[in-house]
Amino acid sequence: MAPLADFQLTRHPANPILSPNSAADWESLVTTNPAAWHDTSSNEVLLLYRAAGNDADHVVHLGLARSKDGVHFTRDSGHPVASPIPFTPDGGCLEDPRIIKIGEWYYVTVASRPFPPGKYWDEPSLATRIHRTFPTHFPVALRQNLTSTHLFLTKDFKSWIRAGRLTDPSLDERDVIIFPEQVGGKWVTIHRPMQWHGSGFPNDQPAIWIAATDDVLGWKQLKLLAKAEQDWELKVGANNPPLKTPHGWLQIYHAVGPDKHYRLGAMLLDLENPFRVTHRTRRSIYEPTAEWETKGLYNGVCFPCGHAVLNGVYHLYYGGGDVVCGLATTPLDDLLQHLLAQPV
């Protein structure tokens, strides 16, 4: 195994594995930030990705692609598998999905806004501008087009149940993840409320929080799980759903550093008490260096939302530059041994 300081996930030579499709208006500009699920019944990897065209409003959809080898993907159809429904809480965008599967059902957490964010890369304030559609006496936090996370359910990625909101509507919350199985009879969810930092909080920057509830859609009492600790970490948030291993729940997380670039770290959570971090990387295990990661709608982004383990190799699927999908790999045992050498 590589020395502790030198360990990095390997950028796959086939990258980027999915790029915008100029032949389809709904995904001609963006195909990024993919969720992933290894469907063992069909022996294929499903990639559910964020997609958008070059429209002024920047309406964001979900597209689906499939692969037999986890590297070469074919789009499932010429249409989105899910789109925003105007004048609803997810009327503007469906972004950054994460997938788990329980029985026949796929549980998909989706970041969404009431209204499209506009071309935020040209004018960041567009995404959270006040919308006049709401009554003027409506609370500002609810008129500000903040990101919430909703739960979508499906068996086939064709018919959907939009089950409801998983977050407080007054908070900006996009990095919400559900554990792939209940722990101690509870649903466990990971969060990153953007406003929860600074005065009155134990974290100076947005951080990773965790909750356990009887009802996945019910009220959640959040507790701080992890905050920035290293010089490459300022704002931190969780990425893919945790992977159950003999050594703990493997959680990949991202950190936005002082240079505003995204880098990835990893941690292990106790199997029986996931509120406890047992191991955590001190150096990043992946950072954007390829041109399609460093130059995009947002420069310097690697943002995973899904993973799969194929023949002992950990496949991490991520968005590059807010435009394309990329793949980084490593033997799973190497990643776990790297983590086990770094107890907290």
Contact in structure between 22 and 300 (CB atoms under 8 Å): no
Report the SS3 class of residue 141.
Answer: helix
The letter for the amino acid at 107 is Y
How does pLDDT run across 225-261, given as a tens digit for each residue? 999 999 999 999 999 999 999 999 999 999 999 999 9
pLDDT tens digits in sequence order for the chain, 344 residues long: 455 558 999 999 999 999 999 999 999 999 999 999 999 988 999 999 999 999 999 999 999 999 999 999 999 989 999 999 998 999 999 999 999 999 999 999 999 999 999 999 998 888 888 887 888 888 887 789 999 999 999 999 999 999 999 999 899 999 999 999 999 999 999 999 999 999 999 999 999 999 999 999 999 999 999 999 999 999 999 999 999 999 999 999 999 999 999 999 999 999 999 999 999 999 999 999 999 999 999 999 999 999 999 999 999 999 999 999 999 999 999 999 999 999 99
Q: Give pLDDT, residue 4.
A: 56
Amino acid symbol at 161: I
Q: How confident is the model at residue 330, as a pLDDT?
A: 98
**Is 1.10.357.10 the CATH number for 15-340?**
no
320 near 13, Cβ under 8 Å?
no
What pLDDT, on a 0 to 100 scale, did the predictor assign at position 130? 85
CA proximity to 97, closest of 71, 145, 58, 62: 62
CB 230 within 8 A of CB 182: no
pLDDT of residue 132: 74
Give the pLDDT of residue 5: 59
What pTM value is reported for the model?
Answer: 0.97
C-alpha count within 13 angstroms, C-beta hemisphere, residue 27 = 29
Tokens of 269: 């959570």
Radius of gyration of the chain (CA): 19
| Domains of the chain by residue range | 15-340
Q: What is the pLDDT of residue 220?
A: 93
For tokens 């692609």, the residue is 65
d(CA 11, CA 85): 36
Q: What span, in angstroms and rounded, lies between the C-alpha atoms of 130 and 143?
A: 6
Sign of CA dihedral 179, 183, 187, 193: negative
> What span, in angstroms and rounded, lies between the C-alpha atoms of 120 and 58?
9
3-state SS assignment for residue 62: strand
Of 145, 144, 138, the residue nearest 111 (C-alpha): 145
